[in-house]
């Protein structure tokens, strides 16, 4: 339907009213066409509709209600202005409810009122069309966005299955040691990663890593970490890495060689084949690991720079003697986001007291509310290595 045409239809049999409209719109750019029958009026409405229709309520041979219904069937948005006089004014309200857009009371005192009413109704129609076009465009954009999000979610779910497949078995039992983990991502994919495996010389290597950022970008780095774990297992003898600090140094060099934008924090531990010694190193992973024994519960030493930033970074290996019974608990820093304590020190003290009460991963997860959490602001990982006395 074109709105470029400037024809105004006047469906009326009253010469004085017709002349008033014609005179009022003279020199206004509108072409006024007088129509005296409903059939002639409806024949004018279609693909090349007029911009507006005046509909008389005081023409004896024009049924205004019927003609209005016919106009609305052909053109839902076409402005229809009722022409009423004192005798027909009671019809205005029901016809406005039936779809008429405005009315004028005749005789009209000023020609400017006719011009104003015509201009206002045409502008309303144009605004309605612009609004509906914007709504249609918005619906199309929303549909495209929803479709894109569905594709993204499918990709993320596929990535989640891959990421879950990379994770080691939990719980994992090796001799008298039990390793368990729980990861709650802030989105579908996680930037937290945990791995552990027995080395060819029967030592147990394990680590918890936290990639900067989360979601897809962080998850991609976890795939790289898994690949590096495999290389470390297969090439341990050739690499000649003597302790946990040298292993972190190797991880750092490999990540630097990839030219990543993200960095990684990591706590890495190696338990000797007799199960009595823990050698560990920390690449800025926070909070520090908590070692709980029958005698004490305390944080292990921190230290070190994140992996993947500095090629000169060095990592110190530390050693502790493990008693017959112990639990080593590691968290990613996302755990701080769900604790109610106000200060970081208070949060650390809470974690320490929590581990002191129980190092069982299910109990820890329950106290932290990880089974109930639907959304978390950051990835959360909990990892335990334990031996019952």
Give the mean pLDDT per block of 10 residues along the chain (389 residues). Answer: 69 93 90 93 85 94 94 92 94 95 92 93 90 84 69 56 71 92 75 88 93 71 85 89 94 90 92 93 94 94 90 93 95 89 93 90 88 69 89
CA 285: distance to chain centroid?
29
Contact assessment for residue 20 and residue 110, using Cβ atoms and an 8 Å cutoff: no
Q: How open is the CA angle 100-103-107, to the nearest 5 degrees?
A: 150
Q: Domain 167-387: what homologous superfamily?
A: PPM-type phosphatase domain (3.60.40.10)
DSSP H helical ranges for 64-215: 64-74, 92-97, 111-166
Query: Measured between alpha carbons, how far is residue 20 from residues 25, 30, 101, 114 in Å?
Result: 9, 14, 20, 9
What is the predicted pLDDT for the residue at 1? 38
Q: Which CATH code fits 7-133?
A: 3.40.50.2300
Angle at 144 between CA 143 and CA 148, to 5 degrees: 115
Q: Give pLDDT, residue 165.
A: 64
Task: Extract the tokens encoding 345.
Answer: 């020190």
Rounded CA separation 189/196 (Å): 20
Give the three-state DSSP class for 87.
coil
Backbone angles phi, psi at 292, to 5 degrees: -115, 125
| DSSP-assigned states of every residue in 199-226 | -TTS-EEEEEEEESS-THHHHHHHHHHH
pLDDT confidence of residue 158: 55
Hey, where are the domains in the chain? Answer: 7-133, 167-387
Nearest to 57 by CA among 85, 97, 38: 85
Alpha carbons 214 and 175: distance in angstroms, whole number: 35
Q: What is the pLDDT of residue 151?
A: 60
pLDDT confidence of residue 2: 40
**DSSP sequence for 339-364:** ---SSHHHHHHHHHHHHHH---HHHH
Structure tokens at 228: 């590096």
pLDDT at 214: 61
Gap between the Cα atoms of 382 and 209, Å rounded: 11
Give the whole-angstrom CA distance, residue 232 versus residue 225. 10
Give, for 236, the enclosing helix (H) or strand (E). helix 216-239
Could you tell me which residues come within 8 angstroms of residue 7 by beta carbon, excluding any fewer than 6 positions away? 30, 31, 32, 33, 44, 50, 51
- Pick left, alpha or beta for residue 27 (phi over 0 → left; psi -120 to 50 → alpha; otherwise beta): left
Dig out the tokens for 40 from the structure: 């002639």
With H, G, I as helix, E, B as strand and everything else as coil, classify residue 19.
helix
How far apart CA 350 and CA 297 sit, in angstroms, is: 12
């Amino acid at each position: 339907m074109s709105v470029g045409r400037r024809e105004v239809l006047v469906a009326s049999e009253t010469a004085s009213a017709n002349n008033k409209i014609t005179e009022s719109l003279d020199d206004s750019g509108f072409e006024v066409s007088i129509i005296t029958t409903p059939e002639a009026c409806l024949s004018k409405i279609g693909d090349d509709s007029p911009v507006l229709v005046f509909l008389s309520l005081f023409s004896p041979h024009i049924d205004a209600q019927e003609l209005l219904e016919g106009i609305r069937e052909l053109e839902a948005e076409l402005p229809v202005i009722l022409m009423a006089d004192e005798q027909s004014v009671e019809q205005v309200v029901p016809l406005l409810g039936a779809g008429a857009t405005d009315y004028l009371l005749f005789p009209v005192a000023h020609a400017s009122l006719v011009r104003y009413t015509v201009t206002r109704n045409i502008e309303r129609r144009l605004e309605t069309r612009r609004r509906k076009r914007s709504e249609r465009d918005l619906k199309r954009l929303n549909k495209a966005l929803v479709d894109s999000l569905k594709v993204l979610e499918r990709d993320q779910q596929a990535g989640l299955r891959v990421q879950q497949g990379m994770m080691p078995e939990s719980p994992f039992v090796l001799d008298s040691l039990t390793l368990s983990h729980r990861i709650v991502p802030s989105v579908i994919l996680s930037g937290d990663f945990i791995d552990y495996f027995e080395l060819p010389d029967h030592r147990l290597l394990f680590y918890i890593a936290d990639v900067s950022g989360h979601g897809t970008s962080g998850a991609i780095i976890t795939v790289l970490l898994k690949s590096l774990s495999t290389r470390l297992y297969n090439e341990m003898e050739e690499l000649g890495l003597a302790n946990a600090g040298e292993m972190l140094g190797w991880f750092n060099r490999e990540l630097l060689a990839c030219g990543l934008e993200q960095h990684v924090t990591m706590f890495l531990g190696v338990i000797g084949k007799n199960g009595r010694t823990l050698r560990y190193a920390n690449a800025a992973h926070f909070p520090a690991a908590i070692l709980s024994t029958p005698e004490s519960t305390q944080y292990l030493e921190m230290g070190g720079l994140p992996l993947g930033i500095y090629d000169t970074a060095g990592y110190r290996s530390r050693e502790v003697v493990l008693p017959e019974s112990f639990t080593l608990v590691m968290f990613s820093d996302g755990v701080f986001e769900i604790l109610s304590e106000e200060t970081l020190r208070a949060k650390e003290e809470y974690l320490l007291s929590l581990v002191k009460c129980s190092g069982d991963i299910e109990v820890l997860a329950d106290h932290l509310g990880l089974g109930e959490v639907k959304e978390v602001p950051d990835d959360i990982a909990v990892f335990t290595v334990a031996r019952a006395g």
